[in-house]
Amino acid sequence: MRSLTASELLGAWEAGHPHSAPGRALALLCAAWPERSPGELARLPVGVRDSLLLAAREGTFGSALVGLVSCPPCGEQVELAFEVGDIQVPQGAPPPEVLEVEHAGHAVRFRLPDSRDLAALAAGRGGAGREGVLARCVVEAHREGAHVDTRALPEDVIRAIADAMEAADPQARVELSTTCPACGHHWFAAFDIAEFFWREVEAWAQRTLRDVHTLARQYGWSEEHILGMSPWKRQRYLELAGT
């Protein structure tokens, strides 16, 4: 488990801010694992990335997660409360760099999507959704020995690839069994730790900057000094400063 200090969190927030969601998740990872290069972290399969983000989230803000989702048929806001351990898939050996599927006369070699792929797709490069993932991640595809374009792969072969990706990198997809208290609808709500953790960091950073501003103005202390205090002590000074 990794925990980020107040100044590391603020640094990650600043570094990730200009980016889309995949770059923001990467900024959090780089802050939590400074001994690993950004390039190495960017090449981690999405599920491996998410298991690291879960560990950093647990070390920084604790293991309890609470979120709101909209019920698809009635729109009611339903609260989801769970623990990191409830959604953590045990990490075995790292998934292979290249996977292979043989299905319906097709042989396809592909790699798992990583942060570089997510960033390219978020920027609109390489097509949208599943098509974009295939265009970027399929290394080679053959049918009876002849090369096949990824766009010509039949639906059941694409499904076999998606199933193999999910089996090799299971943490990439987290769904929570959810029941709406208003209408009784039951569904599996998707949970994205990258988006969730970033939203928390953003809210925390805005609160913390306000606190630094108040204390710096009152006492003349530096940002570094204020961030170095325990949250408890910072809170006591904020009370004395009359906020």
Q: How far is CA 66 from CA 188, 196, 210, in A?
A: 16, 10, 24
* Surface-to-core class of residue 169, CB atoms within 10 Å of its CB (0-12 exposed, 13-18 middle, 19+ buried): buried
Asked if 109 and 100 touch (Cβ cutoff 8 Å), the reply is yes
Tell me, rounded to whole angstroms, the distance of Cα 77 from its chain centroid: 22
Q: Shortest Cβ distance from residue 190 to Zn ion (Å)?
A: 17
Distances in whole angstroms, Cα of residue 163 to Cα of each of 50, 173, 199: 18, 11, 30
Find the part of the chain contacting Zn ion (CB under 5 A) among 10-18, 59-67, 182-190, 219-227: 182-190
Rounded least distance, CB 199 to Zn ion, Å: 23
The dihedral region occupied by 75, where left means phi > 0, alpha psi between -120 and 50, and beta the remainder, is left
When binding is defined by CB under 5 A, the residue of 74, 122, 240, 241 that contacts Zn ion is 74
Torsion of CA 189, 129, 55, 170, to 10 degrees: 80
Stretch that binds Zn ion, among 63-71, 126-134, 157-165, 169-177 (CB under 5 A): 63-71
Out of 10, 71, 174, 194, point to the residue binding Zn ion (CB under 5 A): 71
Q: How far is CA 138 from the centre of its chain?
A: 23
Q: How far is the CB of 17 from Zn ion (least distance, A)?
A: 35
Binding residues for Zn ion, rule CB under 5 A, total: 7
Q: Does 76 bind Zn ion (CB under 5 A)?
A: yes
**Tokens (6 digits) for 9:** 């969190």
Task: Please identify which residue in 152, 183, 203, 209 interacts with Zn ion, judged by CB under 5 A.
Answer: 183
Bridge-partner residues for 108, per DSSP?
A: 101, 141
Residue 185 touching Zn ion (CB under 5 A): yes
Provide the β-strand partners of residue 174.
Answer: 191
d(CA 32, CA 146): 45
User: Tokens representing 199?
Assistant: 């939203």
Tokens of 206: 């805005």
Piece in contact with Zn ion (CB under 5 A), picked from 79-87, 179-187, 211-219, 225-233: 179-187
| Interface residue with Zn ion, options 1, 64, 123, 182 (CB under 5 A) | 182
Considering only the stretches 60-68, 88-96, 172-180, 198-206, report the one whose residues sit in contact with Zn ion under the rule CB under 5 A.
172-180
User: Considering the rule CB under 5 A, would residue 139 count as an interface residue with Zn ion?
Assistant: no
- 80 contacts Zn ion (rule: CB under 5 A): no
Judged by CB under 5 A, the stretch of 21-29, 33-41, 68-76, 210-218 that binds Zn ion is 68-76
Min dist. Cβ of residue 66 to Zn ion (A): 19
Binding positions for Zn ion, rule: CB under 5 A = 71, 74, 76, 180, 182-183, 185
